[in-house]
């Protein structure tokens, strides 16, 4: 893939940061499907950035741009230092996680629990803004536990706006740190898109993007009447061919490739390059399992990648064998 120039900053459409999913191989694959979508890393803690293996944690292909690093942390000085590293290695944006409800973030005083500390979040954003020239953004929830979403979200956004945040992405659900698992927190708390729409109306000069429960590009496009951007997570990951419609529908630009078959060939040079470096095929193809969902032969494609594709000797030919099992004729696979 050839690198593309970084476009003017926009949060019109992005793929959500997702732990264990949106790694560098996933992002390189998604970039073959959309040239305009904004891509995010998995959340990386400040401790890992400052003291861990940076190339493994922060490495990315230049063709991924526009790509953002999501940070987890709550100490302004540490976040500023991590943001500076991110900008130096070439990330286009640094995003602060104020929405993750996992046990890990509860123990570490970051993620969604920071919804209770808007002043601290504001201080973190201010420190990051002072350290870098790239955009600094925040991803948050409506609130946590028994917080009133009206007051909690307004307080958080007022603090980060005053600190100079360039945009806010809101997952339109509360997070329940007591009583729900991280998985349940993705589905059980009810969605409240109207609350995010009210936030945007109250902050006309602040870019606001919405996340949570959106499953189609048509749903995403409808949200753009009320907010500045939309972020899709599991829908984009489980059905990556959906991303082929992003550039035409949301940006008025042609898709980079005409169909999922062409997407595989566009991704092939990246796969070959990583295989030569010793990366296992499955590390890349696990992000492609849903590419042909609904087409005749999709089940066989997934099965081949899940069996032959996991073997140590699996290579680019294994991927092409799997693709050959999929019909190029339009149609739906029988359930």
Instruction: Return per-residue pLDDT of the chain as tens, 335 residues.
Output: 333 334 445 899 999 999 999 999 999 999 999 999 999 999 999 999 999 998 889 999 888 999 999 999 999 999 999 999 999 999 999 999 998 887 666 666 778 899 999 999 999 999 999 999 999 999 999 999 889 999 999 999 999 999 999 999 999 999 877 766 666 766 667 899 999 999 999 999 999 999 999 999 999 999 999 999 999 999 999 999 999 999 999 999 999 999 999 999 999 999 999 999 999 999 999 999 999 999 999 999 999 999 999 999 999 999 999 999 999 876 656 44
Q: Are strands 229-232 and 13-15 parallel, antiparallel or unpaired?
A: parallel
19 is in an annotated binding site: yes
Name, in order, each residue with C-beta under 8 angstroms of 289's C-beta and a sequence gap of 6 or more.
302, 305, 306
CATH 3.40.630.30 fits 13-251, yes or no: no
Q: Count Cβ neighbours within 10 Å for each residue of 186-224 and write b for 16 or more, e otherwise.
A: beebebbbebbbbbbeeeeebbbbbbbbbeebeebeebe
pLDDT confidence of residue 283: 98
Tokens read off for 126: 């201010």
DSSP, collapsed to helix, strand or coil, labels residue 83 as helix
| Secondary structure of residue 308 in the 3-state scheme | helix
The alpha carbon of residue 267 and the mean position of all alpha carbons in its chain are separated, in whole angstroms, by: 19
Q: What is the pLDDT of residue 106?
A: 60
Cβ–Cβ under 8 Å, residues 48 and 282: no
CA distance 151 to 164: 20
What is the pLDDT, as a whole number, of residue 164? 98
- Positions marked active-site: 100
The pLDDT, as a whole number, for residue 6 is: 41
As given in the structure block, the two tokens for residue 304 are 């081949």
Angle between helices 260-276 and 24-33 (to 10 degrees): 150
Q: CA 131 to CA 267: how far, in whole Å?
A: 35
Structural domain spans, the chain: 13-251, 260-323
Q: Residue 317, Cβ neighbours under 10 Å: how many?
A: 10
Residue 233 counted as an annotated binding residue: yes
DSSP three-state, residue 104:
helix
Contact between 29 and 267 (Cβ < 8 Å): yes
Predicted TM-score of the model (pTM)? 0.92
User: What is residue 2's predicted lDDT score, i.e. its pLDDT?
Assistant: 35
pLDDT score for 335 = 44
Residue 314: CB atoms within 10 A of its CB come to: 21
Q: Is 213 annotated as a binding residue?
A: yes
What token pair was written down for 236?
């984009």
**What's the pLDDT at 63?**
87
**C-alpha to C-alpha distances, 266 to 31, 73, 83, 219, 261, nearest whole angstrom:** 10, 36, 32, 28, 9
Does the annotation place 234 within a ligand binding site?
yes
Q: Consult the annotation and say whether 30 binds a ligand.
A: no
- Residue 18 known to bind ligand: yes
């Amino acid at each position: 893939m050839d690198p593309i120039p970084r476009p003017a900053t926009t949060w019109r459409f992005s793929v959500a940061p997702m732990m264990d999913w949106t790694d560098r191989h996933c992002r390189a694959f998604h970039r073959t499907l959309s040239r305009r979508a904004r891509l995010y890393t998995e959340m990386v803690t400040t401790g890992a950035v400052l003291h861990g293996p940076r190339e493994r944690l922060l490495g990315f292909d230049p063709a991924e741009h526009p790509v953002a690093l999501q940070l987890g942390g709550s100490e302004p000085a540490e976040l500023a230092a991590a943001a500076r590293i991110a900008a130096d290695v070439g990330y286009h944006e640094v995003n602060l996680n104020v929405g993750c409800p996992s046990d890990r973030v509860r123990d570490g005083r970051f993620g969604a629990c920071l919804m209770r500390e808007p002043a601290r979040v504001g201080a973190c954003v201010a420190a990051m803004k002072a350290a870098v020239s790239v955009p600094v953004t925040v991803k948050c929830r409506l609130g946590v536990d028994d917080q009133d979403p009206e007051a909690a979200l307004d307080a958080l956004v007022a603090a980060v706006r005053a600190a100079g945040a360039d945009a806010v992405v809101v997952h339109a659900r509360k997070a329940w740190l007591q009583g729900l698992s991280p998985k349940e927190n993705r589905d059980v708390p009810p969605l409240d898109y109207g609350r995010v729409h009210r936030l945007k109306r109250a902050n006309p000069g602040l870019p606001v993007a919405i996340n949570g429960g959106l499953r189609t590009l048509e749903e995403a496009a409808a949200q753009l009447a009320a907010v500045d951007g939309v972020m899709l997570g599991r829908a984009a990951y489980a059905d990556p061919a959906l991303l082929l419609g992003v550039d035409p529908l949301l940006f008025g630009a042609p898709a980079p490739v005409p169909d999922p078959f062409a997407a595989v060939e566009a991704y092939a040079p990246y796969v070959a390059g990583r295989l030569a470096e010793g990366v296992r095929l499955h590390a890349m193809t696990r992000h492609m399992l849903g590419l042909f969902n609904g087409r005749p032969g999709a089940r066989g494609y997934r099965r081949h990648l899940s069996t032959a594709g996991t073997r140590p000797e699996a290579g680019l030919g294994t991927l092409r064998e799997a693709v050959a099992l999929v019909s190029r004729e339009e149609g739906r696979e029988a359930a």
